[in-house]
Structure 1
Amino acid sequence: MRILIIDDQPGDRLILRKVLRELGDIELAEADSLAAARRAIEVDAFDAAIVDLRLGEDLRNRDGHVLVRELRQRTTTVPIVWTATREIHEIREAMRNGAYDYIFKDAPYKELVARVIEGLRSRRSLEREVLEHRARRTLDQPIVHGMVGDSAPVMRLREDVKAIAVGSDRPVLILGPSGAGKELVARAIHALGPHPDATFVAKNCAAIPESLFESELFGHEENAFTGAKRRAGALGSTGKGTLFLDEIGEMPPGQQAKLLRVLEARRYTPLGADVERPFHGRVVAATLVDLEERVKRGAFRQDLYMRLSFFPIRVPRLQDHAEDIPAIIEHYIGASGLRPFRFSPEALRDLMVREWPGNVRELQQVVERIAIRPPADGVVRPEHVAAAVSSPPPAAAELLRSAARMLLTAVGPQNLALSDDRQEQRVDVIEELTAALFREALARCDHKKARAARLVGTDRRVIERFMKRGAPAQAAFDLAAQADAGTAEDPDEDG
């Protein structure tokens, strides 16, 4: 437990220091004024603060009351009043402002301090028990914060979410393919944690230009650069809540070291700031790439990976819990406000045996397509399913948007001009974009060419030509021609 002592009298601070050290397992820091206390809180996180209500000789001094109010409103630190005054209205005001308890300096303070600290420890233990009970009760339900189903993979996922949400505030790494529901899991961890009403901040690392990454994540001070106004950034906006960093594998190397500092010391420095600030929230990261492989290539810091992977959570592919598809569909129709309709047993069977490269997100989009023009009798049959799933796979558009976003960030729109004198560079850009598209599709589909082809809405032979020749430009033209002709084959599965 970390405790901050705030008192303008050195002798009183010495008394508290001795008593608290005798209680054991307590780290101490001290401040002699409101300004010093604010500086200490700005650079460190404390479990409790023992606050003298009168920080000075002037009886009109209100600094102690101000500090109690600020602690309760802006931090996780629990304020405890330590005062020489026995004026009831002063004590009542402090308690209304959020003080946990009070100790009179002229009372048998040794016993009182011990009682208050023991009560604080018991309160923390009780809060943990309440969290565990709430998590158990919630996880017994068939639908838990969007995690639908009672298959073995989903039940294991729920247990993992409960264990990490309640048992620790350490970082979490969520692993899983695109569309499987990684952000849903992150939100469940937040909802089952100790501060479900606090802020949930989500950032996609692949969507932030590298030049803006530090400002987006860490914030900046006024005049940190020309025309800059103060900005809290993702870390400052999180408060006691959860910061979700999606596609963590795309974080720039220079920012990885700074995130490591946040995880190790729970402090960060905004751009242009002179002092570090405490981070009171929790970091949950997600990735669909193999971070261990990126560590081996030197593209991702090993020490950051070790910090994040303390408790990895794996989100299963939809095809690994296909028995949950009927429940997922029913939940999605109800939660989305779609016109009610039902699936015949044969239609459900077709959905359950199908592979889903885009996972739950792809299933939801198939349901949405059916909902646009549902059957007249409200019963979805196999032919309706076939028509809905034969549309261009939604994951292809997602991949293209992601690749284009990163390309524009790296190259810059000024280098993508399509005038004749830039034609050669334009072809290079198309080749690189196509190469990135096919490589990403293959990586997401365990290098199975048929699955990758379905994911991008092309034929397996197009990807095979790309792999054999290393000719992404030709593959791009084949893909475009095939799209124009409207002929998308359904190749047999390959190895």
Structure 2
Amino acid sequence: MLVGDSEVMQELRSQVARVARTSFTVLIEGESGSGKELVAREIHTRSPRADGPFVALNCAALVESLLEAELFGIEERTATGVRGRRGKFEQAHGGTLFLDEVGDLSATAQAKLLRVLQDMAVERVGGHVTHVVDVRVVAATNRGLWTLVNSGGFRADLYYRLSGVDILVPPLRDHREDIPALIEHFLRRLDAGHVRVTPAAVDALLAYDWPGNVRQLGRVIERAIALSTTDVIDVRDLPAVIARRAMEGVHDVAGDQSLRAWTSRYVRQVLARCDGNKRRACEVLDISYHTLRAYLEFGRTSTSTGRPQQKGEDRPAGAGHGGPAAVARP
């Protein structure tokens, strides 16, 4: 389930819906924790193969000596104590095979994978019988395969075979406006619908950069539920690195503490998160362009002491627009 109604998430869902109808190989690129496997599962669920199996394999989690057996299977009595079994390609017959972190495959494994993708047939380790498979392959990486191709770390022919259709999953910092919806999603998934997250805590989560993306946000919500002594999650229940940044934003604010001043600071903070795109900021804040301009003008006409500048007053040389934007919701 792809959560969020931001522009980038709507575009992602649109891409998934279009790609799912086809049988093409798909390459999903994105940072760790951004939701690449969720995208792969969504493609499978919306495809004509939805009634078939979805089989996932993390290529980075297996040592070289085991990878071939995991992918292609192994025959009975190939070695002492080894039981025969089907590989992931055979297990995914009629469905979808998701190869996560495909950029971590060794040169040898890349060559064998390329051969299977060309022939859609596998030969188990220790065997001599070819097994034809009907599988849609969806691969994912967080390393940037084209960069690896240019550096000689990934085969160009395999890259072209995998990248028939490319999908880029955006990092969470590029769609922060989806964080409130993601919070609600995680609370429901954790059977904690009765738990409330304070506006201050939401603002702290909005202000964080999320290097671990959506996966990290989910772990933070789990931690907060576990450590909170009430049914209310506040800033103090968040990890120190998130809470400290939020509190620094509050304490660094000086001068005018009126509601309009706080709202002006919040509006400027949202505008900064939208990379200066005023139209997008208006959509996120659900305000008109005229209202946005009014709050921005209020911020510009405030002196460093925080009170509105009066006619005839001169701004002190070097006076700026105050400290870091506050993280309080108006």
TM-score normalized with structure 2 length: 0.70
**Aligned twin of 2:47:** 193
Partner of 1:381: 234
Provide the C-alpha distance between the structure 1 equivalents of 2:102 and 2:80, rounded to a whole number of angstroms. Answer: 29
Q: CA RMSD in A?
A: 2.0
Q: Which residue of 2 aligns with 1:155?
A: 10
Deviations 1:50-88 (A, max 9, x none): xxxxxxxxxxxxxxxxxxxxxxxxxxxxxxxxxxxxxxx
2:75 is matched with which residue?
Answer: 221
Taking structure 1 as the reference length, what is the TM-score of the superposition?
0.47
State the SS of the aligned residue for 2:164: coil
Q: Distance in 1 between matches of 2:154 and 2:241?
A: 40
CA contact (8 A) 1:262 1:268 kept: yes
In structure 2, give the amino acid aligned to 1:316: P
Q: 2-side partners of 1:390 and 1:202: how far apart?
A: 36
- Structure 1: give runs of 5+ residues left out of the alignment: 1-144, 392-491
Offset of residue 174 of structure 1: 0.7
Amino acid at match of 2:34: A
Contact 1:235 / 1:279 at 8 angstroms: preserved in 2?
yes
Letter in 2 for 1:171: T
- Which of residues 320, 330, 350 in structure 1 aligns to 2:204? 350
Matched residue type, 1:203 = L
The alpha-carbon distance between structure 1 residues 386 and 238, as it changes in their structure 2 partners (threshold 3 A), is: closer
Would you say 1:269 and 2:123 are equivalent positions?
Answer: yes
The percent of aligned pairs where both chains have the same amino acid is 45
Q: In 2, are the aligned partners of 1:180 and 1:318 still within 8 Å (CA)? A: yes
Q: How does 1:8-407 map to 2 (within 5 A)?
A: 145=1, 147-166=2-21, 168-338=22-192, 340-376=194-230, 378-385=231-238, 387=240, 389=242
| 1:390 Cα deviation from its structure 2 partner | 6.0
1:272 Cα deviation (Å)? 2.2
SS at match of 2:128: coil
Aligned partners of 2:220 and 2:239 also within 8 Å? no
Render the CA deviation track for 1:140-198: whole Å, top value 9, x for unaligned. Answer: xxxxx2x10100111111111111111x2121111000111111111111111112232
Q: Which residue of 1 aligns with 2:290?
A: none
1:469 maps to what in 2?
A: none
Q: Which amino acid counterpart does residue 240 of structure 1 have in structure 2? A: G
- Aligned 8 A contact 1:347 1:380 in 2: yes
Once the two structures are superposed, residues 380-422 of structure 1 have per-residue CA deviations (whole angstroms, 9 ceiling, x without a partner) of 333333648469xxxxxxxxxxxxxxxxxxxxxxxxxxxxxxx
8 Å CA contact retained: 1:341, 1:374: no
| Deviation for aligned residue 1:209 | 0.8
- Judge conservation of contact 1:346–1:381 (CA < 8 Å) in 2: yes
Unaligned runs of 5+ in 2: 245-323, 325-330
Query: Structure 1 residues 151 and 339 mapped into 2: Cα distance closer, same or farther (>3 Å)?
Result: closer
Give the conservation status (yes or no) of the 8 Å contact 1:339–1:371.
no
Question: Which whole-Å CA distance do the structure 1 matches of 2:141 and 2:156 have between them?
Answer: 15
The 5 A counterparts of 1:399-478 are none
Q: Is the 8 A contact 2:53 2:91 kept in 1?
A: yes
Distance 1:374 1:227 in 2: 50
Q: Secondary structure at the match of 2:138?
A: strand
The ranges of structure 1 where at least 4 consecutive aligned residues each deviate by more than 6 angstroms after the TM superposition are none
Q: Distance in 1 between matches of 2:229 and 2:173?
A: 26
CA contact (8 A) 2:205 2:242 kept: no
Secondary structure at the counterpart of residue 285 of structure 1: strand
Aligned-pair distance for 1:213? 1.1
Q: How far, CA to CA, are the matches of 1:386 and 1:290 in structure 2?
A: 30
Q: Which amino acid aligns with 1:159?
A: S
Give, in angstroms, the shift of residue 265 of structure 1. 2.0
RCO comparison, higher one (Cα < 8 Å, 6+): 2
SS of 1:223's equivalent in the other structure is coil
User: Does structure 1 conserve the Cα–Cα contact (< 8 Å) formed by 2:72 and 2:88?
Assistant: yes
Aligned residues: 245
- Aligned equivalents of 2:243 and 2:203: distance in 1? 17
AA of the residue aligned to 1:328? L
Aligned to 1:91: none
Deviations 1:244-283 (A, max 9, x none): 1111011121121121122222112111222321111111
* Mapped partners of 1:223, 1:385: distance in 2: 53
d(CA) in 2 for partners of 1:359, 1:367:
13
Whole-angstrom CA distance in 2 between matches of 1:201 and 1:364: 23
Higher helix share: 1
